[in-house]
Amino acid sequence: MPELPEVEVVRAGLAPAVSGALVLGVTVLDERALTRHSGDGTDFEARLTGRVVLSAARRGKFLWLPLQPVTGRPTSSDAVVGHLGMSGQLLLRVPGAPVERHERVRIDLAHPVHGELAVVFADQRTFGSLAIDELIPTPDGADGGLGWAAASVPSQVAHIARDPLDPAFSDTAFRRMLQRKDSAIKRVLLDQTVISGVGNIYADESLWSSRIHPETPARALSTRAVGRLLGEVRQVLDKALAEGGTSFDAQYVNVNGQAGYFAHSLNAYGRTGEPCPRCGRPIVRVSFTNRSSHFCPHCQRLPHPRPATP
């Protein structure tokens, strides 16, 4: 599933092409792409056609395109919310371009600078979705997400925590939350209500970099260890962003259909049996909640439990 770097690469590619663009028309080819939308395909097309897109925004793994309020309803704000699911793609195409394989929705736009273009939502496995959703105030009063300076966020995204690259992310609040959790630290990293944007790949990479065993209880981490972990999470995400994300197949691509190459920089994820880049011992793979964890048992040792206080 695409994680923060892959989704951010898509957002950054969409932003200059859609900001300020007028929606000329919408074609819904498969209503399975609208599972999170409150109406049907006809409703989606009617509510979006004629609207102006203000920007492209992201929080965690969610994208949204804020829309200019409808004339006569200046206090009513909404946005097109997108989640890529397992295999979703948002692609930029020239007007009249052939229908993409697995194309579900096409949005035709007219940009004041770039002219006409189309945003195509393609999704092989149909777990991704688009929806028109209302914007609601952010609980902390800060910007809704990257690319959106207003203190609002789609209601479907309101439960998603800020990601570690968000300027409004609170390291202190994150540390305090970990102190209350007995769950394994990897499980916490994957909890999008605690910290967003980190999935299986980047959790494994960040834990390897910070020398923390994935099964370490979250509350057992010292303040210094949590700080080191957050630093490594940010460094891993930044590096993946610079390399266009991680692509293992043709499904994870940017808006131009190009794959990222961070897979060549992985130290732990997917390297079962290969030597650890740090100590040379084999990387191991263990089952983890219907997924897998990859780590070095020598560099990432599980701490011994503290003896009970008499």
239 known member of a binding site: no
Task: For residues 187 and 59, give the distance between their C-alpha atoms in angstroms, rounded to a whole number.
Answer: 20
**Which of the residues 137, 291, 301, 303 is marked catalytic?**
291
Give the type of residue at 250: A
- Of the listed 59, 61, 104, 106, which one is catalytic? 61
Residue 193, φ and ψ in degrees, nearest 5: -85, -10
Q: Is 83 annotated as a binding residue?
A: no
Both tokens assigned to 83: 């989640």
| Contacting residues for 63 by C-beta, under 8 A, at least 6 apart | 7, 10, 11, 14, 56, 57, 81, 82, 83, 84, 90
181 is annotated as contributing to ligand binding: yes
Establish whether 3 is a catalytic residue.
yes
Active site residue 291: yes
Query: What are the backbone dihedrals phi and psi of residue 27, each rounded to the nearest 5 degrees, phi first?
Result: -125, 115
Tell me the C-alpha distance between 73 and 64, whole Å. Answer: 20
- Is 51 tagged catalytic? no
Give the number of other CB atoms < 10 A from CB of residue 126.
16
Q: Which residues are identified as catalytic?
A: 2-3, 61, 291
Residues comprising the binding site?
Answer: 102, 125, 181
Residues comprising the binding site for DNA?
Answer: 102, 125, 181
